[in-house]
């Protein structure tokens, strides 16, 4: 048996096409979604992400607003920009590209964003709403993982899921989303005892630990669905948190790196911007784009 490849790139392309159709329908009502991205400093990876986000925002018919600030920007100036964006009716979504320069308080910056425009889903109110089952803006990467899992498995109720990683960006919200879909969820991490044995119990295994090829094939339950969130640069190129070669003969389905979860993140950012726009205008949430 060889695992089916979960093609996140193709799924994301289809998702962006659906979003473009929804954006065109909003245009008929005189509504144009707008996404503002703020980049502080010149981190090379962040610059690539911001360019890609800007291009795809325009491709689906949304307005793209980019604000590039020098690395030395004082926190008061950044917070003032966020306040202006919060008040701007043309801006439905605000994303401050992370990481920030060390002199800036990341939590203070994120929590300055209006929760309804927080398309990254990192604001403390959105975190709390997700954890308590309320309507929230949901972090993009876990939302993309959920979409891929639902597409592959349908109903997740009763599935045993193990999430490796407890970050605020992926691990914790991923666990909340799986719980919301009635999976039985274990969050594992660096201090977990006998991690391989725990992983072998999972119908769904989400690896978001940030260590190259950490999860081996013999950790995987035969037939399990494996979502590899990791993006690690090695001498051999980009690899995930899962040892893809040894996992392939064991898993039932697996996301590759690259081409798996990565493309879903930007597509879900656009989905969140569309959702935020609909809510700002008193319209129903777009179908299939929210948990």
Is 159 domain-assigned?
yes
Is 95 domain-assigned?
yes
Query: Domain range spanning residue 229?
Result: 140-261
Residues 151 and 230 in one domain: yes
Is 278 domain-assigned?
no
Residues 157 and 103 in one domain: no
Note the pTM of the prediction, 2 decimals.
Answer: 0.95
The domain total for the chain is 2
Residues 147 and 70 in one domain: no
Long-range contacts of 274-277 (CB under 8 A, 24+ apart): 274/19, 274/22, 274/23, 274/33, 274/62, 275/137, 276/33, 276/92, 276/93, 276/116, 276/117, 276/119, 276/137, 277/26, 277/31, 277/33, 277/34, 277/92, 277/93
- Name 15's Cβ contacts closer than 8 Å, sequence gap at least 6: 147, 264, 267, 268, 270, 271
**Residue 226 belongs to a domain with what CATH number?**
3.40.50.720
Residues 35 and 144 in one domain: no
**Residue 104 belongs to a domain with what CATH number?**
3.40.50.10860
Given the residues 97, 117, 172, 228, the one annotated as active site: 97
Given the residues 32, 117, 118, 120, the one annotated as active site: 120
Is 282 domain-assigned?
no
Residues 157 and 252 in one domain: yes
Residues 100 and 180 in one domain: no
53 an active-site residue?
Answer: yes
Is 67 domain-assigned?
yes
Is 47 domain-assigned?
yes
Residues 52 and 106 in one domain: yes
- The predicted structure's pLDDT at residue 48: 86
97 an active-site residue?
Answer: yes
Given the residues 53, 117, 159, 172, the one annotated as active site: 53
Residues 103 and 213 in one domain: no
47 an active-site residue?
Answer: no
User: What does pLDDT average to in each consecutive run of 10 residues of the chain (291 residues)?
Assistant: 95 98 97 98 87 94 97 98 98 96 97 98 98 96 98 98 97 98 96 96 97 97 98 90 97 97 96 98 95 89
Residues 104 and 150 in one domain: no
Is 11 domain-assigned?
no
Q: Which of 98, 115, 132 is the last residue of a domain?
A: 115
Is 56 domain-assigned?
yes
Residues 253 and 145 in one domain: yes
């Amino acid at each position: 048996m060889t695992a089916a490849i979960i093609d996140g790139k193709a799924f994301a392309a289809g998702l962006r096409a659906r979003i473009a159709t929804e954006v065109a329908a909003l245009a008929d009502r005189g509504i144009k979604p707008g996404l503002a991205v703020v980049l502080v400093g010149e981190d090379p990876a962040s610059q690539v992400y911001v360019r890609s986000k800007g291009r795809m925002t325009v491709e689906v018919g949304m307005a793209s607003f980019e604000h590039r600030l020098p690395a030395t920007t004082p926190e008061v100036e950044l917070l003032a920009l966020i306040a202006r964006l919060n008040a701007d009716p043309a801006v439905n979504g605000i994303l401050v590209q992370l990481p920030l320069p060390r002199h800036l308080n990341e939590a203070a910056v994120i929590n300055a964003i209006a929760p309804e425009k927080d398309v990254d889903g990192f604001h403390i109110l959105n975190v709390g709403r997700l954890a308590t089952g309320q309507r929230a803006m949901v972090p993009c990467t876990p939302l993309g993982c959920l979409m891929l899992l639902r597409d592959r498995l349908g109903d997740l109720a009763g599935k045993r899921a193990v999430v490796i990683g407890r970050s605020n960006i992926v691990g914790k919200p991923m666990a909340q989303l799986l719980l919301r879909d009635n999976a039985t969820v274990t969050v594992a991490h660096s201090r977990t005892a006998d991690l391989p044995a725990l992983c072998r119990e999972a119908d769904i295994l989400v690896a978001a630990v940030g260590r190259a090829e950490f999860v081996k094939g013999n950790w995987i339950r035969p037939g399990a669905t494996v979502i590899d969130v990791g993006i690690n640069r090695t001498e051999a190129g980009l690899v995930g948190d899962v040892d893809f070669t040894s996992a392939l003969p064991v898993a039932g389905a697996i996301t590759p790196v690259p081409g798996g979860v990565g493309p879903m993140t930007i597509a879900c950012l656009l989905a969140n911007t569309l959702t935020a726009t609909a809510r700002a205008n008193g319209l129903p949430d777009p179908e299939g784009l929210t948990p």
